[in-house]
Chains A and B, each alone.
Chain A
Amino acid sequence: MTAAGPPPALEVDGVAYAYPDGHQALYGVSLRIGRGERVALLGPNGAGKTTLVLQCNGVLLPGAGRVTVAGLPVAAEHLREIRRRVGIVFQDPDDQLFMPTVAEDVAFGPANLGLRGADLETRVKAALAAVDMEEHADRPPHHLSFGQRRRVAVATVLAMEPEILILDEPSSNLDPASRRELAEIVLGLDITTLMVTHDLPYALQLCPRSLIMNGGTITADGPTADLLADADLLAANRLELPFGFDPAALRARS
């Protein structure tokens, strides 16, 4: 790390991890995400993406290497602050939304941080406004549509004012309109974002930079359009553009 400037939002340095059953999921992963960047983490199923995400907020702790979030190393003694700084939106909103009403669910995170009363209310309102769900504040989450639930899941994390927002497969199971609405919301947020996905067009739309992960290591890092235009690179990493998508048009764009 250079001495000048603020520390990067997320820095992963040589992280290796094996699950207790002996399955090695990460083999020395290193990456760096600067403040305000929007980066996509691309890779096929089983590449180790989700394992890497869980390293970032200390749910899993690395066997080797280290992770720092805005300069603070991920370690047992300051997990609370780490979990405030790293906001993870999980793939299934039903896993994330468990409180009786939307507003209470959004309040859960900041309340765990010790916020109460008017401060808490302001946080909740702002977070719901950011995902355009204010009018549903008092509804139970299971009465919302899937797309609405995913937006509320994003709000639950925004309410903690994280340093970095991590979205795990944000476009999965969304219909085209919900998918576009979510993209507009993500583009409107002024926050460092790491988006884990194998939806390549979505990565192209939202993230100027992409990382490709396969077999527990980072295999490529560069501008999204360049990576997606490299057919050999995609093939080597079990990634594919949707039918009818023209790589030449991508190259022209980059």
Chain B
Amino acid sequence: MVGAGHTHALYLPGTSPLHRARPQCKIAAGLLFVLAVVATPREAFWAFGLYALALVGLAMVAQVPLAFLARRLVIELPFLLFAVFLPVVGHGERVEVLGVSLAVGGLWAAWNIVVKGTLGVATSVILAATTPTPELLRGLERLRLPTVLTTIAGFMVRYGEVISDEVRRMRIARVSRGHDPRWIWQARAVAASAGTLFIRSYERGERVYLAMVSRGYAGSMPVLEDMAATRAQWLAALALPAAAALVAATAWGVRP
């Protein structure tokens, strides 16, 4: 049967201190850490080394295998491709590397994108690996994100699978009737399926709303439990971005 016993793509169940931390603390800490990383001057190699070490340490505490982390980092590849072009097409002073003439400014820009992008993605991978999606949403709500947005995000998570399942069934039904789209002019059936899917999802939306109204929904989601974090929890969570901010400030200070 659909949906019985499949795995999460991003979440790794566990009981580490990182898993137990309040989601709003983790989200805020992650965001501030990334801000500190981005604010660091690109020449300060040692600072990025420290950030990377901190993230590896965090992954160890959270029992997130580094191989898992590395696999998840693949998602940033399309962005890195862009960075690869910068040294080639850049203007200004140039250096020869293995016989290829590269722009120095472009190299710095590429390094900047690669290192900050990787550290940022690694931070969010660790956050997602230690926080189940519903908790992430509740954390965002605690951080005063408008409930309309968290509610919509919640529906997306909930119905994404239902809809992709519908897409899969429609595709199988098409293929079973001999449809074998290879060329663009054969895309008509796919386009028609997309239209049908839209109508069906729209109708499902109406039915979901009807079911919600039948259970007393009057326009706002009830707040179910108080997830407030204590001062100690906030302090523990913010220690990492505070340290990162210190590193970033030092990097600016020692800059030649």
8 A/B residue pairs, CB under 8 Å, sorted by A: A80-B216, A98-B158, A98-B159, A100-B134, A104-B224, A109-B215, A112-B222, A145-B1
Indicate with 1 or 0, residue by residue over B124-154, a CB within 8 angstroms of chain A CB atoms.
0000000001100100000000000000001
Nearest CB on B from A128, distance (A): 15
Contact B222 A146 (CB under 8 A): no
Q: Does the CB pair A109–B155 fall under 8 Å? A: no
Chain A residues near B222 (CB-CB < 8 A): 107-108, 111-112
Q: How far is the CA of A104 from the CA of B216 in the complex (A)?
A: 15
Q: Could you tell me which B residues sit within 8 Å of A by CB distance?
A: 1-6, 133-134, 137, 154-155, 157-159, 161-162, 204, 207-208, 210-218, 221-224
Whether B134 lies near A101 (C-beta < 8 A) is yes
Give the chain B neighbours of A145 by CB distance below 8 A: 1, 3-4
Assess whether A95 is in contact with B3, with CB atoms less than 8 Å apart: no
Q: Is the CB of B154 within 8 A of A146?
A: no
Which residues of chain B are within 8 angstroms of A33 by Cβ–Cβ distance? Answer: none
How far apart sit A144 and B133, CA to CA, in the bound complex (Å)?
17
Select B1's contact among A59, A98, A100, A146, beta carbons within 8 Å: A146
Q: How far is the CB of A75 from chain B (nearest CB, A)?
A: 16
CB distance from A5 to the nearest CB of B (A): 28
Contacts A99-B158, A145-B4 known; A90 to B216 CB distance under 8 Å? no
With both chains docked as a complex, state the minimum distance between the C-beta of B199 and any C-beta of chain A, in angstroms: 15
Residue of A nearest to B161 (CB): A142
Contacts of A100 in B (CB 8 A): 133-134, 137, 154, 157-158
> From residue A148, how far is it (CB to closest CB) to chain B in Å?
8
The one of A57, A92, A111, A157 that contacts B224, using a Cβ cutoff of 8 Å: A111
Chain A residues with CB under 8 Å of B215's CB are: 83, 108-109, 112, 156-157, 160
Residues of A within 8 A of B133 (CB): 100
CA distance A96 to B208 in the complex (A): 6
Which are the 5 A-B pairs with shortest beta-carbon distances? A100-B134, A111-B222, A112-B216, A109-B215, A95-B207
User: Smallest Cβ distance from B167 to chain A, in angstroms?
Assistant: 15
Does A170 reach chain B (CB closer than 8 Å)?
A: no
| Min C-beta distance of B225 to chain A, whole Å | 8
Q: A101-B134, A145-B1 are in contact. List 12 more A-B contacts (CB 8 A).
A: A57-B214, A83-B213, A86-B214, A88-B211, A88-B214, A97-B158, A98-B212, A99-B158, A108-B221, A140-B158, A142-B158, A146-B1
- Interface flags for A58-70 (1: CB within 8 Å of B; 0: not) read 0100000000000
**Are B224 and A59 interface neighbours, CB within 8 A?**
no
B residues near A108, Cβ cutoff 8 Å: 212, 215, 217, 221-222
Interchain CB contact under 8 A, B4 and A144: yes
Alpha-carbon distance A108/B222, docked complex (angstroms): 7
Is residue A143 within 8 Å, beta carbon to beta carbon, of the partner chain? Answer: yes
CA gap between A17 and B121 in the complex, in Å: 57
A113 on the interface (CB 8 Å rule)?
yes
A10 CB, nearest partner CB in chain B, Å:
15
Q: Verify if A120 is at the interface (C-beta below 8 Å from B).
A: yes
Q: Does A230 contact B (CB under 8 A)?
A: no
Closest to A124 in B: B224
Contact A59 B213, beta carbon cutoff 8 Å: yes
How far apart are the CA atoms of A98 and B209 in the complex, in Å? Answer: 10
Check: A216 CB closer than 8 A to any chain B CB. no
Q: A100-B134, A108-B222 are in contact. Are A160 and B213 (CB under 8 A)?
A: no
**Distance to closest chain B CB from A83 (angstroms):** 5
The contact string, 1 if C-beta is below 8 Å from chain B, for chain A 163-191, is 00000000000000000000000000000
Q: How far is the CB of B256 from chain A (nearest CB, A)?
A: 51
Contacts of A86 in B (CB 8 A): 214
Please name the residue on chain A nearest to B160 by beta carbon. A142
Cα A157 to Cα B2 with chains together (Å): 24
Among B208, B213, B216, contact of A98 (Cβ-Cβ < 8 Å):
B208
Q: What B residues does A120 contact at CB under 8 A?
A: 224
B214 touches A95 (CB 8 A): no
A59-B210, A95-B207 known; A112-B218 Cβ under 8 A: yes
CB < 8 Å neighbour of A84 from B134, B216, B223, B224: B216
Does A43 have its Cβ within 8 Å of any Cβ on chain B? no
Query: Is the CB–CB distance between A113 and B162 below 8 Å?
Result: no
Q: How far is the CA of A100 from the CA of B150 in the complex (A)?
A: 11
Chain A residue at minimum C-beta to C-beta distance from B6: A143
Instruction: From known contacts A108-B215, A109-B215, A111-B224, infer whether A142 and B134 are also in contact, taking CB-CB under 8 Å.
Output: no
